[in-house]
Structure 1
Amino acid sequence: MFEIRIHSRGGQGGVTAARLLALAAIHDGKYATAAPFYGAERRGAPIVSFVRIDDKPIRIYSQIKKPDMVIVLDASVMDVVDVLQGLKSGGRVLVNSAHAREFKGFTSSHVDLTGIALKENLVVAGSPILNTPVIGALAKIGIVSVDSAKRAIRETFTDERNVKAAEAAAKEMSA
């Protein structure tokens, strides 16, 4: 089972990104679950979402304490949350950033999801929406296929800018 923890802020699309990723994995013929974890938080508060992907049915629906991968949609969350807590040795970290960040003992990648969302004018209430660009980045590194990522996005959103943002993130993604 491959387990992913997504750190974001309310209103950025982290919860929807988890759902999109699970849907794309299902389109790839996998089993997947997505679960958010938040209370009465509001826009801008730290949010955590979880995704599990497996070849077998998944019977766990809970927080992920020891993920294989951590995704950080807002680097400022790292100032208040230990995003690497429990990350498995050799795990992967994907950070929304225009600049590379190194995390000792982990494979790290970065892509400017915010810049892509702003370029495509994917903004709600003044906040760039990062859910569809991050799905493109995850497709680039092979978590889901590009075709399934696009299919999941199109099933969820009618605005083709979302697919363009995913394609741009895949193109700009650091390997």
Structure 2
Amino acid sequence: MNTLEIRWHGRGGQGAVTAGEVLASAAIIEGKYALAFPEFGAERRGAPVRAYTRVTNNPNIPRTPIEKPDVVVILDKSLLKHEYIEGLKPGGYFIANTPLKPDELIKKLNLPNSFNVSTVDATSIALKWLKANIVNTAILGAVIRTTNLLKIETIINVIKSRFPGKIGEANAMAVQEAFENTIVMKLQEAI
């Protein structure tokens, strides 16, 4: 792995920024270099939010917006639009919070057969474990399942250390359930 660039799209309050930070922390624990940073527009709950995470073997990590990501993660179903997929590299990963299966999402959005598609109903999982529509930890399970970038145990350990007690345990359960329930459609399967 040289560098894996991830662009997160969510709404304020869903935890896109935190998801990127947790992933970066886990990458560092596993011996990689990583950087996570947000890009805000109107800073209010519910407003569209972009966050970025770079994971690399190189200590010199640029802090610039990711225009051509290897991975695009959509935390909010209302953002399932072509404009948010823009720039995704051919062969990259499109990971979405939706109850749709990957083939259904491909048809709905008329997606090209140029990248891998994964789906998970992170909203239902978050509501089950957290009793709130905060989908960041659930979507992290989908990211790990799709990319195999890191060990799921490392993500869970970072979450438990960042959110101690019952909140950490509930978030760990959300990660694990999403990891187990993510449906991954590899590029060759979509053709």
CA deviations 1:98-129 (Å, max 9, x no partner) are: 11211312110000000000011342xxxx11
> Which residue matches 2:150?
144
> Which residue matches 1:168?
177
Q: Aligned-pair distance for 1:166?
A: 0.4
Q: Determine helix, strand or coil for the equivalent of 1:20.
A: helix
**Residue correspondence of structure 1 range 97-112 to structure 2 within 5 A:** 97-100=98-101, 101-102=105-106, 103-104=111-112, 105-112=114-121
> Which residue matches 1:85?
86
CA deviations 1:121-142 (Å, max 9, x no partner) are: 342xxxx111111122222221
TM-score normalised per structure 1: 0.92
Query: Which residue, 37, 43, 51 being the options, matches 2:45?
Result: 43
Q: Determine helix, strand or coil for the equivalent of 1:86.
A: coil
CA deviations 1:115-172 (Å, max 9, x no partner) are: 000011342xxxx111111122222221221121111111211121010000000110
Using the alignment, how far apart are the partners of 2:51 and 2:42 within structure 1?
Answer: 15
Query: Which residue, 130, 135, 142 being the options, matches 2:135?
Result: 130
- Pair 122,19 (structure 1): closer, same or farther in 2 beyond 3 Å: farther
Counterpart amino acid of residue 96 in structure 1: N
Q: Determine helix, strand or coil for the equivalent of 1:60.
A: coil
Using the alignment, how far apart are the partners of 2:78 and 2:64 within structure 1?
Answer: 25
Aligned residues: 170
Q: Aligned-pair distance for 1:26?
A: 1.0
What is the alpha-carbon root mean square deviation over aligned residues? 1.3
Give yes or no for contact 2:77–2:98 (8 Å, CA) kept in 1.
yes
Give yes or no for contact 2:14–2:136 (8 Å, CA) kept in 1.
yes
- Pair 43,120 (structure 1): closer, same or farther in 2 beyond 3 Å: same
Q: Determine helix, strand or coil for the equivalent of 2:87.
A: coil
Counterpart amino acid of residue 137 in structure 2: T
Query: Which residue, 32, 35, 40 being the options, matches 1:33?
Result: 35
Structure 2 portions without partners, runs of 5+: 185-191
TM-score normalised per structure 2: 0.85
CA deviations 1:62-111 (Å, max 9, x no partner) are: 110010010000121235x7111111112110000111211312110000
Tell me which protein shows more helix as a share of its residues.
Answer: 2
Structure 1 runs of 4+ aligned residues shifted over 4 Å read: none
